[in-house]
Structure 1
């Protein structure tokens, strides 16, 4: 997920597992009527959490978002698809790469619109880091 020409930015297909699919709605727009970046980040965080929870039996919490790159605007009516894959496994944490692609139904095209790295930490009942019990 670098900004160089060999990045996944040029990929024709998403990388990872489809974890969330949602329709961008008017209530999620900014003043320019594009979808608000904060809404998109929240979808990515949820998508990363889906994979983090699927791959562990632990309670997981987001601790960092790194290298967020917005490539194109998202528009009302776009079908927003979050794809996630594990980038790094640790003893108490996991870093998940999340890509967002949109399906534009009017012209039947797919576009990669953003990408980022999300780090989740396994925590116990007291909120302290605990070893991850891997399931995948």
Structure 2
């Protein structure tokens, strides 16, 4: 059996961004209060903003309030530093009967060097639509 050589061409960050809304759901500058013991930005700060960005995308897709069910694998691929501008880009992946799945791409500009754009992480977040009493409810789709 003959093996074929396959060349892998990783997708550029610019190519990835084309699959998301053109404007970030959230853009924040990282402050000294957001650091961990090593001086980089605490991962929990990024996760909190990621959840917030995704929840707004899911709320719009569901047509009602949503709550976070699960944040799937989050792999931090680059550290964030004080002064970095971090942007959270979202896209709706799936809308189910009572759930909405959102993908978030987190990118950053290194401080004042606006031309240095890099990926921080990405994640898939699943939300459940809820009614006024906080109980699971069907999404309100426009027909």
> Same fold by TM-score, threshold 0.5 exceeded?
yes
Q: Which runs of 5+ in 2 are unaligned?
A: 1-7
- Give structure 1 regions of 4+ aligned residues with deviation exceeding 3 angstroms: 5-8
SS at match of 2:54: helix
SS at match of 1:67: coil
Q: Does residue 1:132 correspond to 2:134, yes or no?
A: no
Relative to the length of structure 2, the TM-score reads 0.83
Relative to the length of structure 1, the TM-score reads 0.87
Match of 2:49 among 38, 43, 46: 43
1:22 maps to what in 2?
A: 28
Offset of residue 7 of structure 1: 6.7
Q: Does residue 1:53 correspond to 2:59, yes or no?
A: yes
Q: How many residues align?
A: 131
Structure with more strand by fraction: 1
User: Could you give the per-residue CA deviations for residues 68-102 of structure 1, whole angstroms, max 9, x where no partner exists?
Assistant: 11110011111110000111111100110001000
2:86 maps to what in 1?
A: 80
Q: Which runs of 5+ in 1 are unaligned?
A: none
2:121 maps to what in 1?
A: 114
How far apart in 2 are the matches of 1:82 and 1:118?
Answer: 13
Q: 1:101 to 1:95 in 2, by over 3 A?
A: same
User: Could you give the per-residue CA deviations for residues 87-134 of structure 1, whole angstroms, max 9, x where no partner exists?
Assistant: 111110011000100012433211111111111110113322111013
Bigger Rg, which one:
2
RMSD: 2.0
